[in-house]
Structure formats: structure tokens, C-alpha cells
Chains A and B, each alone.
Chain A
């Protein structure tokens, strides 16, 4: 390790902090039981359906609810992994 890299080393704590923030945001919803945030619950269920067919990272599924005065929209975004191999069960569906 050079003297330069010693001075710029940031430590690992910022990474730990970021990982925890992402994780806990989802976990609190999942462990809070019934009556939680409906959008978050919906997201969990959509994730489960997709994960039955190919591995997916949790943050690749986004669910957004926009409440307007006359119309509300539910936006679901699923980012597919490039190498996703759809199994036979996926094709049937």
C-alpha cells in the first residue's frame, strides 16, 4: 500500500451504512405485518412472482402509486437481467 492510498482510504463504514439503509427500508415493511404500506406489500408480492422464474435483485422491481385528483396510476417497473433465461413455466404463463 502506498502512502497516497493510505490517505485516500475512506474506510468501509460508508458502505455498511448504505447497505443497511437499503435493506432496512424493505425489511421494516415486511416485518411490520398487516396494515403496512400497501405499495410496499404489493412490491414484495410482485417480487415473489418474478423470482419464481428467474433470479432478480430486489431493487430491480419498482412500484409507484400516483394519486391524482381524478385518476390514480400504479406504475410497475421491472428491470430484467440481460441473461435472464425464462424457464418453461414462464413461457406457459
Chain B
């Protein structure tokens, strides 16, 4: 049975697109027979007018058709899907950069999601920021929501707002069912946490009262990966954020793991000279 996952936050710039790419790639690479991968994964960009998932996935030169083209009947779904060159069972459905946001209709989205459910095991939807139409449509068909939150006051407040919408405005809510909700803390800074200047994980969990999927540390490997156009889990699989995302994916699949914040394993030379600015 296909699972539709929305990556959402309310607040902008907290790490939704980074997370969509990392989790999409990690899901496609792991699981399946003998852990060799095998589950089919599609990442869908809902950020019409400001698409970025194509760039983070390194597929920007291959985008010709997009979600809006499919909704308006200008292209078939298979013509708009871009297969990843590195991971066989991973695909991208880009958003439109040029069309108006209003071209994203509720019926159109419903139809595309239904078609994707036939072709894929996981459908990961990258939501735009905000609580308007685009964000509402991105979450509408979700079975599961990953609420990306930074440990700071405005992000936590916006996440609370999004949780309210997930419980009231989605297809599942309308049927009297629940969207499965997970909190993903990102851009977590262990140094500031130690100083006591950052909201504690326990505090955020207590305020939002949804289960924790993972804690992704702040890391320059995220910037390096985006420069190169590769999900961080693929570009630097041993880095702290990649290991944190890998753990989050195992929890998404239902495993129970101890919650640890991975730290960077620094090589001898790195320790000697310090890290270069990427």
C-alpha cells in the first residue's frame, strides 16, 4: 500500500526541501529485499513558482514538464516524472516555475496523487511555507506528516498551527481519521544546546506533543550537498546529518531506535586545521 507523506512546517526556510530530498533518497536506497532498496519512491515539489527540489536533487537540467502541465493535461504523468540517475527507484515530480499558483487545483492534485499511488510505494510531498492554498493542497492527501521544526520560538509556534490544520483540513480529517504526525527537529546546534540558549528537545516535544522522528544537527555538509545537487544522505552518507536522516527513515518505517544526535566524525587533518568554509 502506497504511503503519502507530507513534509511541512508553516515557517519558511526550516529545512523541508532538504528533508524531502534526504528522506526520499534514503527510503529508495534502503529497505526492500536484503536492504538493497526496491521500494519505489517519488518526491513531489508543491512549491509552485519557487521550486527548488529539482536543484537540491541535481535534476534542474532535466525538467521540461511539471506538476501543473500534468494537471492541465499538457503532459502525461510519465513524461513529467524524472528518474534519478544515481538511485534507480527514485523519481522527482517538479513544480512549475512559471505558472500561477491557482493552476494547482484540488481536483488536479487528487488525480495526480491517485495515479502516483499506483506507481510508487512512497510519495513524499515537499510543502511550500505558509498555511495558504499550496501548503493546504500539499498536505491534503497525506497519510503521514513530517513536521519540520527548528528549536526556536517562531518555528515551534508555526508547527503548532500546522498540526491544527493536519487535524482539521485534510482528507483523513474529513473521514474522521487521523494523519500520523512526526516531529523532525532540524538545524539543531549541539554547541548552543550545551550553552542552554536553544529550546530543549523535551521542551519542544512537550509543547507540541507529537512523537519525535529524529534530530538533524546543523552541518555544513547540507550546504555542500546542495551546491553539488545531491541529497545529503547520498553525497555524504557518513556525515552527521545523513546518519540522523537514515535513523529518521528507519523510524518512519516503524523501527524503534534510541534517539541520539550524531556528531561529525572529523578526520585527523580536519582536527588539525579546522574545517574549511565550504
Q: How far is the CB of A1 from chain B (nearest CB, A)?
A: 5
| Contact of B75 with A by CB under 8 A | yes
Q: Does A47 contact B227, Cβ atoms closer than 8 Å?
A: no
Known contacts A9-B276, A12-B224, A27-B97; decide if A55 and B229 are in contact (CB<8 Å). Answer: no
| Contact of A16 with B by CB under 8 A | yes
A30–B277 Cα distance when bound, in Å, is 34
| Contact of A90 with B by CB under 8 A | no
A17–B96 Cα distance when bound, in Å, is 22
A13–B220 Cα distance when bound, in Å, is 12
Interface-centre pick from B83, B224, B227, B228 (highest chain A CB count, 10 A): B227
Q: Does A16 contact B227, Cβ atoms closer than 8 Å?
A: yes
Q: How far is the CB of A13 from chain B (nearest CB, A)?
A: 6
A89–B64 Cα distance when bound, in Å, is 18
Known contacts A6-B273, A30-B98, A57-B61; decide if A23 and B55 are in contact (CB<8 Å). Answer: yes
A53–B240 Cα distance when bound, in Å, is 42
Give the residues from 46 to 75 in chain A that come closer than 8 angstroms, CB to CB, to chain B.
47-48, 51-52, 55-59
B278 touches which of A11, A23, A27, A31 (Cβ 8 Å): A11
Q: Does A19 contact B60, Cβ atoms closer than 8 Å?
A: yes
Q: Does B227 contact A1, Cβ atoms closer than 8 Å?
A: no
Q: Does A59 contact B228, Cβ atoms closer than 8 Å?
A: no
Known contacts A6-B273, A55-B83, A57-B61; decide if A12 and B55 are in contact (CB<8 Å). Answer: no
A51–B227 Cα distance when bound, in Å, is 27
A1-38 Cβ-contact flags toward B at 8 Å (1 or 0): 11100100101110110010011000100110000000
Q: Does B63 contact A58, Cβ atoms closer than 8 Å?
A: yes
Q: Which residues of B contact A23 (CB under 8 A)?
A: 55, 60-61
**Which of the four size classes fits the interface of chain B?**
20 to 34
Q: Does B227 contact A58, Cβ atoms closer than 8 Å?
A: no
| Contact of B270 with A by CB under 8 A | yes
Q: Which residues of A contact B276 (CB under 8 A)?
A: 9, 11
Give the residues from 245 to 278 in chain B that come closer than 8 angstroms, CB to CB, to chain A.
267, 269-270, 273, 276-278
Q: Which residues of B contact A31 (CB under 8 A)?
A: 97-98
Q: How far is the CB of A18 from chain B (nearest CB, A)?
A: 10
A52–B97 Cα distance when bound, in Å, is 19
A56–B61 Cα distance when bound, in Å, is 9
Q: Does B269 contact A19, Cβ atoms closer than 8 Å?
A: no
Known contacts A12-B224, A52-B79; decide if A58 and B269 are in contact (CB<8 Å). Answer: no
Q: How far is the CB of B257 from chain A (nearest CB, A)?
A: 29
Q: B: which residues have CB within 8 A of A?
A: 55, 60-65, 75, 79, 82-83, 97-98, 223-224, 226-229, 267, 269-270, 273, 276-278
